[in-house]
């Protein structure tokens, strides 16, 4: 690594970004909920992908964008932010469980 100063700089930047992200995640969980933290975590994937595409490390692929939308949609459904109007999908949501009680 001593011969590649750029590699050392990238490694330090990655360490700092991960530390900042984890500190933000702990703060979100402390003051909000774990569901909100998982939603923010999903957005991190978008930011990393957008930066990688914009600086030329990756090529834009429509299939990756579709995959990201599926990831976000699944996270929002799991956290019950989006509730699908299909009986078997929302049978175990908090609202339906409360109705049965």
Do the domain assignments include residue 2? no
Domain count, the chain: 1
Rounded Cα gap, residues 68 and 52, in angstroms: 14
**pTM of the shown model:** 0.61
Interval 34-85: pLDDT, tens:
777 887 788 888 888 888 899 998 898 899 889 988 988 888 888 777 777 7
Do the domain assignments include residue 64? yes
Do the domain assignments include residue 19? no
Range of the domain at 48: 32-100
Do the domain assignments include residue 9? no
Do the domain assignments include residue 4? no
Do the domain assignments include residue 62? yes
Do the domain assignments include residue 1? no
Q: What is the mean pLDDT of the segment spanning 31-35?
A: 80
């Amino acid at each position: 690594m001593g011969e590649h100063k750029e590699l050392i700089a990238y490694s330090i930047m990655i360490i700092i970004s991960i530390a900042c992200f984890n500190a933000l995640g702990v703060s979100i969980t402390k003051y909000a909920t774990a569901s909100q933290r998982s939603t923010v975590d999903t957005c991190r994937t978008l930011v990393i992908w957008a930066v990688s595409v914009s600086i030329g490390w990756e090529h834009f692929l429509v299939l990756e964008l579709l995959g990201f939308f599926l990831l976000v949609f699944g996270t929002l459904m799991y956290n019950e932010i989006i509730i699908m109007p299909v009986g078997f999908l929302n049978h175990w949501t908090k609202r339906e469980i409360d109705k049965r009680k």
